[in-house]
């Protein structure tokens, strides 16, 4: 078993730049962009100096709201080199979610692109921070966000009140390499370096604090499970703001000197084209991405024979899809990984040499240096193989905690250091796990974690709604879709379209209920608890979703 690495994120990159200076580190074929490890490391150093010149200090929180642009990866390492904590913002967020995260994270600096899909990020930020347009770059004073001082624009020509990314790079000349080296010398692998927001049963997202130690070791062991080396080239269509992008992809590559080949925004054909053009040996994706690639009309046009490995994760993986990826995409060593943001994120992963039935029907076994146990939900006692209970994990990968939420941290990590995942699982005698359900009724739609309570809290603000229950129903394409069962107040009327219109632009599109039904009562237990599983069963019958519900997953 490999030993645990005691190195910072920046230190890891520097080691690879020494070992494989000429190897491709980061490649964007459509931009004609190709950095070797030596060039990429030098650029990250330069941006780290630019951040210091900007006044960003070790321990400051720097938020990024962007698609998979090159600057994202550069910032992941530049912030790590000078000790700032990178706060990742979901690209699908709208105004209320952005404001909450900037406020809760105490972010002093925000990097953003122009926008994504139907959201204009610049307009959204100006709505949240009306003072921005009239302020000089670096001198923002916002009543609602007192910590936020700097906004840096990724792209050509900075909007009012913002600094352009190119100007940040030019600022590097004000800070010498020796000054940066002094800061690097103060960094500790146990420092928090990454903060990702995950929704919780309390309804509002929680900032998961991850250290260099957490994510470097998790990335390294994920790469080991795929047998990565400096020869590998990974196509990355999953978003960087998720651990899937910044740990399972970026750090799995950088800990092995492998090449990162990102796709800026997912499209099935862009992935097929990238894999073929760059002869990628590995591909990551959530099941919906692999399905879209396999079913693309031009699938046969692209040569995917270079593929060997990769990861399917993010939501339950249909067994038939795994088989097709192995057969039709030539990814004979594709793996499945399972975990959550709080565990950096991977807890278990299949291995490339596992027999096919284990690789398609389980989520694998614990990574090296990671402990896993299944406990009885009622008593907390450890269960024997074959018994269903809650999956708990302990090791280097468990988060430092939730930012400014000690009670929530204590509820997630017990006194013995075990992280309680809230997921139901069964483990066999060889340690291979199957995820069988969720204790907390989280919905996983196309790799996005959706917490019903957050949507319920939002819908309660509608003047016509007296009560609402949100839950997941099976879906062939996304794994699950959001459904809301709503009770309306006496004497008022409300339609399904009106509910959806109320959500539009105020919560992320993927959280807007696909199905809405109006009810007079909810199924209850004898003690008065609402039974969401019964609502789900009723919906499966009413919407005739039996076929989607029967799809087998690992």
CATH number of the domain where residue 472 is located: 3.30.300.30
Task: Please tell me the predicted confidence (pLDDT) of residue 202.
Answer: 47
Of 287, 313, 328, the position where a domain reaches its end is: 328
- pLDDT at res. 526: 56
* Under 8 Å between Cβ of 99 and 144: yes
Which residue range(s) make up the domain with 290?
9-328
User: Cβ(280)–Cβ(307) under 8 Å?
Assistant: yes
CA dist., res. 328 & res. 304, Å (int) = 9
DSSP 8-state symbol, 530? B
Beta strands at 192-198 and 206-211: parallel, antiparallel or unpaired:
antiparallel
Q: Identify whether residues 72 and 217 lie together within a single domain.
A: yes
Is the domain of 322 the same as that of 456? no
Q: What is the pLDDT of residue 59?
A: 98
| Domain count for the chain | 2
Q: Is residue 277 part of a domain?
A: yes
Instruction: State the residue for tokens 């991850």.
Output: 210
Q: Please tell me the total number of residues recorded for the chain in this structure.
A: 554
Residue 291 falls inside a structural domain = yes
Q: Does 323 share its domain with 454?
A: no
Q: Is 295 helix (H, G, I), strand (E, B) or coil?
A: coil
> Domain end: 328, 358, 388, which one?
328
**Residue at 528 is within a domain:** yes
Q: What is the structure's pLDDT at 273?
A: 98
Would you say residue 421 lies in a domain?
A: no
Asked if 338 and 346 count as a contact pair (C-beta separation under 8 A), the reply is yes
In a domain, 197, yes or no: yes
With respect to residue 545, please indicate whether it lies within any of the assigned structural domains.
Answer: yes
Q: Which CATH number covers residue 77?
A: 3.40.50.12780
Sequence-ordered strand ranges (E) for 103-237: 109-112, 115-116, 119-120, 150-153, 163-164, 192-198, 206-211, 233-236
Indicate whether 322 and 453 sit together in one domain.
no
Pair (68, 204) in one structural domain: yes
The answer to the question of residue 400 being in a domain is: no
With b for 16 or more beta-carbon neighbours within 10 A and e for fewer, the 39-57 pattern comes to bbbebbbbbbbbbbbbebe
Question: Across the 554 residues of the chain, what is the mean pLDDT of every consecutive 10-residue run?
Answer: 92 98 98 98 98 98 98 98 97 93 98 96 97 95 96 95 97 98 98 88 80 98 98 97 96 98 97 98 94 94 98 84 94 96 97 91 96 93 96 98 96 97 94 84 84 84 90 93 94 95 94 96 71 89 91 78
- Which residue, of 286, 303, 328, is where some domain finishes? 328
Whether the bond between 374 and the residue before it is cis, its omega within 30 degrees of 0, is: no
Are 163 and 110 in contact, with CB atoms under 8 Å apart?
no
Residue 362 located in a structural domain = no
């Amino acid at each position: 078993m490999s030993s645990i690495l005691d190195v910072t994120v920046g230190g890891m990159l520097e080691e690879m730049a020494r070992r494989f200076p000429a190897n491709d580190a980061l490649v964007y074929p459509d931009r004609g962009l190709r950095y070797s490890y030596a060039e990429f490391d030098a650029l990250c150093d330069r941006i780290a100096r630019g951040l210091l010149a900007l006044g960003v200090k070790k321990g400051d929180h720097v938020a990024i709201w962007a698609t998979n642009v090159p600057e994202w990866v550069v910032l992941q390492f530049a912030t790590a080199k000078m000790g700032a904590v990178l706060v990742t913002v979901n690209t699908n967020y709208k105004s209320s979610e952005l404001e909450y995260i900037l406020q809760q994270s105490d972010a002093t600096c925000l990097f953003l692109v122009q926008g994504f899909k139907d959201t204009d990020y610049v307009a959204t930020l100006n709505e949240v921070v009306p003072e921005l347009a009239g302020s000089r770059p670096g001198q923002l004073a916002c009543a609602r966000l007192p910590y936020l001082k700097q906004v840096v624009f990724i792209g050509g020509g900075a909007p009012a009140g913002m600094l352009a990314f190119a100007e940040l790079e030019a600022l590097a000349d004000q800070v010498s390499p020796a000054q940066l080296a002094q800061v690097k010398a103060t960094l500790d692998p146990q420092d928090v370096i990454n903060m990702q927001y995950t929704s919780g049963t309390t309804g509002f997202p929680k900032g998961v604090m991850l250290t260099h130690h957490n994510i470097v070791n998790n990335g390294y062991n994920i790469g080991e499970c795929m047998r990565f080396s400096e020869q590998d080239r990974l196509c990355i269509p999953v978003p960087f703001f998720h651990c899937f992008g910044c740990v399972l992809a970026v750090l799995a590559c950088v800990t092995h000197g492998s090449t990162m080949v990102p796709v800026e925004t997912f499209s099935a054909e862009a992935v097929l084209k990238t894999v073929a053009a760059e002869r990628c040996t590995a591909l990551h994706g959530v099941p919906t991405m692999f399905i879209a690639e396999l079913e693309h009309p031009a699938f046969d046009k692209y040569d995917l024979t270079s593929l060997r490995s990769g990861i399917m994760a993010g939501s339950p993986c249909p067994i038939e899809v795994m088989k097709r990826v192995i057969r039709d995409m030539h990814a004979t060593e594709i793996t499945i990984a399972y975990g959550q943001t709080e565990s950096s994120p991977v807890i278990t992963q299949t291995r490339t040499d596992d027999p096919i039935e284990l690789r398609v029907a389980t989520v694998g076994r614990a990574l090296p240096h990671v402990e896993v146990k299944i406990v009885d939900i009622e008593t907390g006692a450890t269960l024997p193989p074959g018994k269903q209970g809650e999956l708990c994990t302990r090791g280097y990968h468990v988060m430092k905690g939730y930012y400014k939420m000690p009670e929530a941290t204590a509820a997630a990590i017990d006194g013995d250091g075990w992280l309680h995942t809230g997921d139901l699982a069964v483990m066999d005698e060889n340690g291979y796990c199957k995820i069988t359900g969720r204790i907390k009724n989280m919905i996983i739609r196309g790799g996005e974690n959706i917490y019903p309570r957050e949507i319920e809290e939002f819908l309660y603000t509608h003047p016509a709604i007296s009560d609402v229950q949100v839950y997941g129903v099976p879906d062939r394409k996304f794994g699950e879709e959001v459904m809301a069962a709503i009770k309306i107040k006496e004497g008022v009327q409300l339609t399904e379209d009106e509910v959806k219109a109320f959500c539009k632009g105020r919560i992320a599109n993927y959280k807007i209920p696909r199905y809405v039904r109006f009810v007079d009562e909810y199924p209850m237990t004898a003690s008065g608890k609402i039974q969401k599983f019964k609502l789900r069963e009723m919906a499966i019958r009413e919407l005739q979703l039996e076929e989607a519900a029967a799809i087998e997953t690992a």
